[in-house]
Amino acid sequence: MRRIIVIDGSLDIDSPALKYAKKASKVSDTEIAWLFLAPTEEGTQSKKIEEHLNLVRQKLEHEGVGFSSYIVAPKPLEFMNKINSLTPANLVLIGDVTFSNEMKKGGVSIESLKEKISCPIANAGTIEAAHARKSSGKEINWGKFLLYFTGSAAIYGLFFPKIAMLNEKLFMSRSVAGALAIIGIIIVHAWVWGNTTHDLPKLFKLEK
Amino acid sequence: MVDAHVIDSVKIVTQIFDANPWYMLGMVLLGFIGGTISGFIGSGGAFLMTPGMMNLGIPGVIAVSSNIAHKFGKAMMGSKKHGELGNVDKKMGFYLLVTAAIGINAAVYVNKFFFEKMGKDGSDLYVSAFFIIMLSIIGTFMLKDALRSKRQPGTGPTDKLLKLSKKFQFKPMIHFKVANVDISLSAILIVGFGIGYMAGTIGVGGFIGVPAMIYLFGVPTVIAAGTELFLAMFTGAWGTFNYALHGYVDLRLVLLLYLGSLPGLYFGAVATKVVKELYIRMVTAILILLCVISRILAVPGNCKNLNMIDISKENIAMLETGSRIFLFGSGLVATFLIIYWTFSAKAKENKAAAALRYSGSVE
């Protein structure tokens, strides 16, 4: 089953986690499975949550998004059992939820979930913050890239062929000057080539 | 073919590249494999690059020294980023550095001794023996720990060694604020020397530094990795300077490694965001053990050249080929897996979150 698991404890029908899950679900043709963390034995509160989840279900189904919901007690074993029954999933989206000390002691935290679940885990708050950032900050600075690229080309194209000759005269002459020259060149080269390659993941769209 | 007894460190790399220019490409590929794995596991890829260079005919001492020089620049870039994130305990880094510098000097002296007294094969044999012993222990320990985590999900690194080390805490104790731990001065100085000696001998100080900080000192993993990079910057610079003073650092090797390693480093780093930590630990451990096997296969060749054993040339050639296949094969498979995991996980993530990323507004 293709699904997005939402872990949320908010009664807000426009909660960030739900908004993003809905958007992601529409483009990826996945259903939403909502894990609502709340004590299951509190009658009035439980009824209120069920009403809220029904309302959400109606709204989402009206928009053509598959939806299922589960009220889960904030206990590590119950929570992990439910997660295990819903995985594999395509995405886990964490919304307005705080893992209690009991859950943390039982090994439930965002970090441990990342270790146990193979799909991407995203935080709705982080996505919202990233969304608010201006798109210009995400792009490659082509001017800077070109500058460093030119520097790298010069190092490999012009300097590299001369190293054999310079080794005898300076770099491998067993002198303090030669040793210092090597260190200086490494610093400059690591900086120039490092900055040239820094944006490669962005070029391959592996990073924002 | 390079004469096994040539000990002119200035000419030997030129001889190798003149005899086989494709080895330059091999160096770049080695850098890429090492860089990708290094970015993925968060530690240096020298455990693969040092023996890899030796497999291409570079004498052990030059392979180690060029690797330290390469690591120095890489650590400089990595440490900057960790420092910005607050993951570096500089005070701990400086304490470790005191004896690490002594350890490096000792290692340079010993390495130089073997190279000058016994030539390329003596140097290779010493580096290989050290490599096999140390990395067998580390690789086995890491694999056992990773398998333990697999059996008991949610558990972190074992705390047995931490409990044991608490029994040997001699005064004075020093408090490290960033890592929030108290460590015996004697312990930190001993570990510092170990890091320095190992970095100076086989170029992989981080493999002793990071586990020691985590398992013996109880330092959080992220701070251990950041502090190790900070330390590696100084030990790298010091090691480079000392080896360069003896004429063992060939910049061509360093620059060729960089050509492949830095792009690989960024791919490996991206992979850590989409691959389970347990997989990362298991890949690292298995890869280390495969590199150990590769080195074991290379040893008889050095022993024969030093007249220590009698073995036919055909058998030596077969073992050397096996050694290369193990090293480059395992490195290539690991690199391929890392890149495959990255692209496939990113493709899934991109599809699921496309609207979140590219739409200008939220409903």
Give B52-72 as a DSSP string: HHHHTT--HHHHHHHHHHHHH
Closest-CA residue of B relative to A165 is B10
Q: Which residues of A touch B237 (CB under 8 A)?
A: 183
Residues of B in contact with A65 (CB under 8 A): none
B346 to chain A, minimum CA–CA distance in Å? Answer: 7
Tell me which chain A residues have a C-beta less than 8 angstroms from the C-beta of B267: 200-201, 206
Output Rg (C-alpha) for chain A, integer angstroms. Answer: 27
Q: How confident is the model at residue B359 (pLDDT cuts 50, 70, 90)?
A: very low
Kindly report, residue by residue over B105-153, the tens digit of the pLDDT: 898 899 888 888 888 888 889 988 998 998 898 889 888 877 887 776 5
pLDDT at residue A56, as a whole number: 82
Which of B247, B248, B266 is closest, CB to CB, to A173? B247
Say if residue B253's pLDDT is above 90: yes
**Which stretch of B282-296, B323-337, B345-359 has the lowest confidence by average pLDDT?**
B345-359
CA dist A25 → A33, A59, B18, B223 (Å): 11, 14, 58, 37
Q: What digits encode the pLDDT tens for the residues A145-194?
A: 889 999 999 999 999 999 999 998 999 989 999 999 999 999 999 999 98
From the CA of A100, how many Å to the nearest CA of chain B? 16
Secondary structure percentages of chain B, helix, strand, coil, to 5: 80, 0, 20
pLDDT at residue A207, rounded to an integer? 64
Q: Mark yes or no for CB contact A107/B254 under 8 Å.
A: no
Q: Which residues of B touch A77 (CB under 8 A)?
A: none
Q: For chain B, how far is it from start to end, CA to CA, in angstroms?
A: 69
Low-confidence ranges of chain A (pLDDT < 50): 134-137
ipTM higher than 0.90? no
> For residue B4, what pLDDT is reported?
41
The amino acid that residue A127 corresponds to is I
Kindly state the average pLDDT of the residues B66-92: 77
Under an 8 A CB cutoff, do B354 and A27 touch?
A: yes
C-alpha to C-alpha distance for B342 and B271, rounded to whole angstroms: 5
Q: Which residues of B250-278 are buried (b: 16+ CB within 10 A; e: fewer)?
A: bbbbbbbbbbbbbbbbbbbbbbbebbebe
- Band (pLDDT 50/70/90 cuts) for residue B254 is very high
pLDDT, position A87 = 76
Q: Which residues of A touch B251 (CB under 8 A)?
A: 163, 166-167, 171, 182, 185-186
CB-closest option in A20, A168, A179 to B10? A168
Is residue A64 classed as helix, strand or coil in its secondary structure?
Answer: coil
| Cα(B24)–Cα(B34) distance, integer angstroms | 15
What distance in Å separates residue B191's CA from the closest CA in chain A? Answer: 26
For residues B38 and B31, what is the distance between their CA atoms, to the nearest angstrom?
10
Do the beta carbons of residue B6 and residue B232 sit within 8 Å? no
* Cβ-Cβ contacts under 8 Å, B265 against chain A: 197
B355/A24 CB distance under 8 A: yes
CB contact under 8 A, B72 and A183: yes
Token duo for residue B173: 């104790």
Looking at residue B28, its pLDDT comes to 93
Average pLDDT over chain B, rounded to an integer: 81
Inter-chain contact A200–B263, Cβ cutoff 8 Å? yes
Mean pLDDT of B2-8: 47
- pLDDT in the model for residue B165: 66
In chain B, the percentage of residues whose pLDDT exceeds 90 is 12
CB-nearest to B245 from A19, A114, A179 is: A179
pTM of this prediction? Answer: 0.67
Question: Min CA distance, B301 vs chain A (Å)?
Answer: 28
Contacts of B247 in chain A (CB under 8 A): 172-174, 178
- Helix, strand, coil percentages (3-state) for chain A, rounded to 5, are 60, 10, 25
Between B351 and B131, the more confident residue is B131
Q: Which of A90, A179, A186 sits opposite B352 (nearest CB)?
A: A90
Residue B126 distance to chain A (closest CA, Å): 23
Answer whether residue B343 shows pLDDT above 60: yes
- State the nearest Cα–Cα gap between A108 and chain B, in angstroms: 8
Pairwise CB contact (< 8 Å): B355 & A26: yes
Give the pLDDT score at B223: 78
Q: Which of A78, A60, A86, A65 is nearest to A5 (CA)?
A: A86
Chain A residues touching B81 at Cβ < 8 A = none
CA-to-CA distance for A51 and A71, rounded, in angstroms? 12
> Is A200's CB within 8 Å of B348's CB?
no
Domain definitions of chain B by residue range: 4-362
Number of neighbours of residue B125 by Cβ within 10 angstroms: 21
CA distance B49 to B187: 30
Sign of the CA dihedral with B174 first, then B78, B108, and B296 last: positive
Bridge-based pairing of strands B173-176 and B181-184 is: antiparallel
Is there a contact between B217 and B179 (Cβ–Cβ < 8 Å)?
A: yes
For residue B13 the two structure tokens come to 């790399």
Residues with Cβ within 8 Å of residue A113, at least 6 apart in sequence: A83, A92, A121
pLDDT (average), residues B10-34:
86
Q: Are A67 and A80 in contact, with CB atoms under 8 Å apart?
A: no
Q: Of A158-162, A175-179, B177-181, B301-305, which range is least confident?
A: B177-181
**Burial class of residue A61, CB neighbours in 10 A (0-12, 13-18, 19+):** exposed
Residue A78: both structure tokens together: 């119950």
**Strand positions, DSSP E, B58-199:** 173-176, 181-184
pLDDT classification of B360: cutoffs 50, 70, 90: very low
Contacts of A90 in chain B (CB under 8 A): 348, 352
Q: How far apart are CA A187 and CA A178, in angstroms?
A: 14
Q: Convert the pLDDT of each residue in B221-238 to its tens digit.
A: 777 877 887 888 888 898
Interface test with A, best of B25, B243, B255, B276 (most A CBs within 10 A): B255
Tell me how close the Cα of A121 comes to any Cα of chain B, in angstroms: 9
Chosen from B262, B265, B278, B341 to mutate, greatest number of chain A CBs within 10 A: B262
